[in-house]
Structure 1
């Protein structure tokens, strides 16, 4: 890849896309910031992009030779809309693609796992980022963050299972490396924070940072599925998949840490307390 290439960042106003765009720009790279409303991003060329509107593909891809791919949120079968775009991107001159997936989804697995499986055959240079659960789930507008602020609770079906929660800033730092390094990783990269935490542990850290009592409310698989559908407005099929991921965590599927962030960025990943303080948790006032 050359320093004069242009990176198309899909989901440039989202959790990892906004951070990836900002870090690329700070490093002097050219960025096309794609979002459904072509929201302005200082220093980048804003462009309208919608996975479900193929008419937006041409303008988004013009002059891009790299792309950061954030799948459509909540779609249980993203390959249906992503694969036509990826084939068009390859034909149009994109040579490197970095896909955001999940530590819970291997190549050939459900949802974005189908895209992961075909990516190496579509692009000369590629990587798949498979981060664990985001620390930002406990900040901003995420459902967990909302219940923590309003009710002092975090609801899961994870039991005592532990997760290697990862900072979205660290995910973006790895994305920038994968997009701009002279040699693409050519593999999938499991990203975690420095330690695996149970949701009881998360509640304790959150309580310590905020000075407010916080509890982990344990639900069954069915209770979590129904909560996601009813309270969070998540489509039933996707809610069932998320609840199943909680159940897998309870069985130990995410109880791990990796050295990927430090190995690729040269610094250790951020811990949960650091992220909560950096993002203003503790200065917020409960709304309930």
Structure 2
């Protein structure tokens, strides 16, 4: 068995790679960034799902011969698809791939994920928490079951390697639904200083992201996700992580404790281009 992991420079694929390597299971990381995207000495190759010209090299080095439409005839035994909360069979986006998987006869699993805890370590959020003791969203009082990428990776590992395929979708969620106000309270408790959640409307959120340097499409996309969450669109519960891993999903408090150096004032540069764009 050999496994191709797409999104090789993302949050989950490198973590899955580490688990596969530890268990001596052959794999290849595929990334639009090419061989340089590999971390920890893991093998990587240029691979872009939207560019068929990049497929050949990756498929030469793994038992995976193509994706969904060609997989069955080429002998692929299992495909695991990561999707979001809103994914549904036949729906535009990941739902189309899910529908094709379900009809293909190939063993599969669709992992439906909520917001990553790791998003809170992204440079923009880390900067505003570290320098201004606050962060902004348009999520208002919506509740989200934040999940750790470590937990997602372990579930994905099992979905890829367990003897019996699941052939269904699995909600991969954190242990508790939290508002961003509660997230701020957790930060305050762990970091030992008051952290505030600033609630913005749609226009204000998009404007702030644009001034932070994000492309307009991405700023609108992120804001739409937050507005969806503000209506409890992400709300949910699941025991998938505990069932497959054998212990509870990581709590936000533990995650912040493990990564608290990211949000310390001393971690923030004295001069930062983003701060000038957003806060001048």
Contact 1:65–1:95 (Cα < 8 Å) also in 2: no
What is the CA-CA distance between 1:148 and the residue it aligns to? Answer: 2.2
For residues 271 and 91 of structure 1, the distance between their equivalents in structure 2, rounded to whole angstroms, comes to: 43
1:38 lines up with 2:18 in the alignment:
no
Contact 1:104–1:132 (Cα < 8 Å) also in 2: no
Contact 1:97–1:123 (Cα < 8 Å) also in 2: no
What is the CA-CA distance between 1:191 and the residue it aligns to? Answer: 1.2
Which runs of structure 2 are paired with 1:92-103 in the superposition (5 Å)?
A: 92-103=74-85
What is the TM-score with the length of structure 2 in the denominator? 0.85
Range that drifts further, 156-165 or 92-101: 92-101
1:212 counterpart residue number: 193
For residues 94 and 212 of structure 1, the distance between their equivalents in structure 2, rounded to whole angstroms, comes to: 52
1:278 counterpart residue number: 258
Candidates 117, 125, 129, aligned match of 1:135:
117
For residues 146 and 110 of structure 1, the distance between their equivalents in structure 2, rounded to whole angstroms, comes to: 35
More helix by share: 2
Any idea what the Cα deviations from partners look like across 1:46-102, whole Å, max 9, x if unmatched?
2221234322201212253469xxxxxxxxxxxxxxxx8443444433221111111
Candidates 188, 192, 199, aligned match of 2:173:
192
Candidates 67, 84, 98, aligned match of 1:116:
98
For residues 270 and 222 of structure 1, the distance between their equivalents in structure 2, rounded to whole angstroms, comes to: 34
What is the CA-CA distance between 1:159 and the residue it aligns to? Answer: 1.1
For residues 53 and 187 of structure 1, the distance between their equivalents in structure 2, rounded to whole angstroms, comes to: 28
What is the number of residues matched between the two proteins?
266
Any idea what the Cα deviations from partners look like across 1:14-34, whole Å, max 9, x if unmatched?
111111111111122111122
Any idea what the Cα deviations from partners look like across 1:186-224, whole Å, max 9, x if unmatched?
111111111111101111111222223311110112322
Structure 1: runs of 5+ lacking an equivalent: 68-83
Any idea what the Cα deviations from partners look like across 1:92-115, whole Å, max 9, x if unmatched?
332211111112333333432332
1:61 lines up with 2:59 in the alignment:
yes
Any idea what the Cα deviations from partners look like across 1:255-276, whole Å, max 9, x if unmatched?
2221110112211100012112
